[in-house]
Each structure stands twice: as structure tokens, then as C-alpha cells.
Amino acid sequence: MKFLDLCKVHIRSGSGGNGSISFRREKFIEYGGPDGGDGGRGGDVWAEAVDGLNTLIDFRYQQHWFAKNGQGGAGNGRTGSSGDAITLRVPVGTEILDEEGEEVIADLSTLGERVLLAKGGNGGWGNLHFKTSVNQAPRRANPGQEGVERTLWLRLKLIADVGLVGLPNAGKSTFLAATSNARPKIADYPFTTLHPNLGVVEVDGREFVVADIPGLIEGAHEGRGLGDVFLGHVERSAVLLHLIDGTSGTLIEDWRTICNELEAYGEGLADKPRVTVLNKIDALDEEERAFLRDELHEAGAEDVRLMSGATGEGVIDVLRALRPHVQRRDRAEAAVADDDEGGSWQP
């Protein structure tokens, strides 16, 4: 299945049915009177976050979503049937934006969360609705209300606890493959990862989700390489795992490049907790490892770990360094949820 994280959709809610103009015509009833029923209500358009989806590819092949119109009223006071609502089933983590792509209308970050995108039109009143003591035979009815038509953007931001960042070939995909059941493409040339990958890792009985995104290069925020379009998938993470190729001859420049790109991207990524990892240490001796680690510390990197994704050396230590950040975020979210529930209760 292809990965798609941005698409445009056109939606339209159903129009309400027209009210009916009708009069009773029965043989032994002297004053029949009006009996036109109301029109049915148009169908709504909803969006719902569902399980089992991790891409918006379905919306590439179906971009128009129109709800059913309500049926018109009929004689004998019969109300028209309401139009069927439709639901756009989207992955958890989908943002819904306006046509310009600037205003976020909804952020479906929780499984089962629903939002009304377009309300169906009300049905028109039939002439029975207009009968009064001074107007016993009204000959008017209302038309149904028009539906709402909108153009929206859907933007997916994957839900992950840990975001992997680094230059191409820093070993991000190797790390993900070594610690989870994910099978990202691994090769000895840059940009082998062309779209984000998710993997579930476990350490000390605690599971969390890791997102691997395509590598960044200098100028990614200006569109160089694959650009920074995939950084949105690590915005929701609790901690960033910054991998650095220990065999690179420009270690400090590599570290600063990623830091600068995170800063240029914004959205709070530069302020997130970060674990810096010197990767590929299987190619380094003890003296080289200590020297490079000290260099990173002097440059300003904090919490520097040593690891080899290929041999597994230091991998558990890195996972244990990530775990407290994930737990801290989970506790904070749980506390906010408890406060919200407590604030809504009244004796």
C-alpha cells in the first residue's frame, strides 16, 4: 500500500426535502383542510478516526463525498425521509484543514473521535405547518435548505512516542529493524527511506511506538532533498532520537545540521526532549568512541549514547534512555484527562 499523508477532498451535505402543498379530499369530510407534510432533513458529512489505517491513500481515488438529500414531504401529513449521512474514515492523527490549508478545523488524535464537517439542510415545512385560525387553507410551503459544500485538506501526522531524526544513512532504518518487527528498506546509499515507517519496540516490559522518517540534509526546510515535509510525523512524539553516523568525518557538522533544520521547521521540535546517539560504533575502537563522544558534549549535545544498530551493542541502553520521556508524557496526559473529568463534575 502506498503512503499518502496529504490530500484534498470535496464534500457536500445533503439538501433538505421540500415541504408539500396538499389538501385532504375525502368523500364524507366537509372541511378537508391542508395535510402537506414537511420535507426530510439532508444527510450530514462526518469524519471519524478509525483503527487499521495509516495512510490517506483511499482519498486519492475518491475525492468527492456527497451525502444524500432529504425526500420531499407528501400528503396526509407524511414527512419525507431524511438523507443518509456519510462518514470519512481517516487514520488516527489526521488533521482537517480549510481550503487554504491554513486553519485547522479538527485534529482527530484519538481513536473513535468524530467531527461534523458539514451539516445537512433542514427540510422545508409543508402547508399543514402554516394552518392558523385565520388561514384555514394555506397554499404555501417552504423549500428545503441547501446543503453545505466545502473543499478541505486532510493531513496525516502519525502517532508515535519516539521520532527518529538524522542525516541519510545515519542508521535510522537499521535501528528500527533491529528493535521492532518493522521491515524498512535498508541499503548503503542515501534516501533509502522515502516515506515514514512505524515500529513497536519493547524494553523492560514497556512498549512504545517509534517513527522513522526520511533523512534530512542541510537546507531541507528550503526543499532540498526530500525537504522537511515528513517532520510533521514526529511533532506528536514525546522524545526525539537523533542518530549520528560515527564513521562520518564531519561529525559535529552533521549534528548541527539536524539541530538547525529542527529549529528552522519550528512547531516546537527544537524544544522537545532529545537523546543523541553516536551510531555505528562497531567500526570504532574505544579511544575513538570516547573522543567523538567528548566532541559532541563540547559542541552542546546532551545525553549522548553509544550504539551499533547492526550488532545490537548499546541498543537496550538507548531504549531505556527513551522510556522515561515517554512515561513522563503519558503521565502528563493522564493528569490532564483526570482534571478535565473532575472539572466537569458538579454535586
Q: How would residue 142 be classed by pLDDT, with cut points 50, 70 and 90?
A: very high
pTM (2 decimals)? 0.75
- Tell me what the pLDDT averaged over the chain comes to: 86
H-helix segments, the chain: 58-61, 172-179, 251-265, 286-299, 315-344
Amino acid (one-letter) located at 81: S
**Measuring CA to CA, how many Å separate 178 from each of 211, 241, 289, 313?**
14, 15, 21, 11
Classify domain 1-156 at the CATH class level: mainly beta
> What's the rounded mean pLDDT across residues 136-148?
92
Q: Which residues contact 54 (CB under 8 A, 6 or more apart)?
A: 3, 91, 156, 158, 198
Q: What's the topology of domain 162-338?
A: Rossmann fold (3.40.50)
Classify residue 145 by burial, with Cβ atoms within 10 Å: 0-12, 13-18, 19+.
buried
> Which pLDDT score, from 0 to 100, does residue 190 have?
55
- pLDDT above 60 (res 13): yes
What are the tens digits of pLDDT across the range 245-261?
888 888 899 899 989 88
Which residue matches cell numbers 502519525?
Answer: 158
> What's the rounded mean pLDDT across residues 53-57?
85
Q: Give the residue numbers of the binding site for GTP.
A: 166-173, 191-195, 212-215, 279-282, 308-310
83 vs 68: CA distance, rounded Å = 5
Q: Give the residue numbers of the binding site for Mg(2+).
A: 173, 193
Length of the chain: 347
Which residue matches cell numbers 467531527?
Answer: 115
Q: Give the residue numbers of the binding site.
A: 166-173, 191-195, 212-215, 279-282, 308-310
What are the tens digits of pLDDT across the range 148-188?
999 999 998 888 889 888 888 888 888 888 888 766 666 55
Domain ranges (residues) in the chain? 1-156, 162-338
Q: How would residue 1 be classed by pLDDT, with cut points 50, 70 and 90?
A: very low
Q: How would residue 344 be classed by pLDDT, with cut points 50, 70 and 90?
A: very low
**Measuring CA to CA, how many Å separate 1 from each of 7, 26, 52, 193, 218?**
16, 63, 13, 15, 30
> Which pLDDT score, from 0 to 100, does residue 192 have?
60
6 vs 232: CA distance, rounded Å = 11
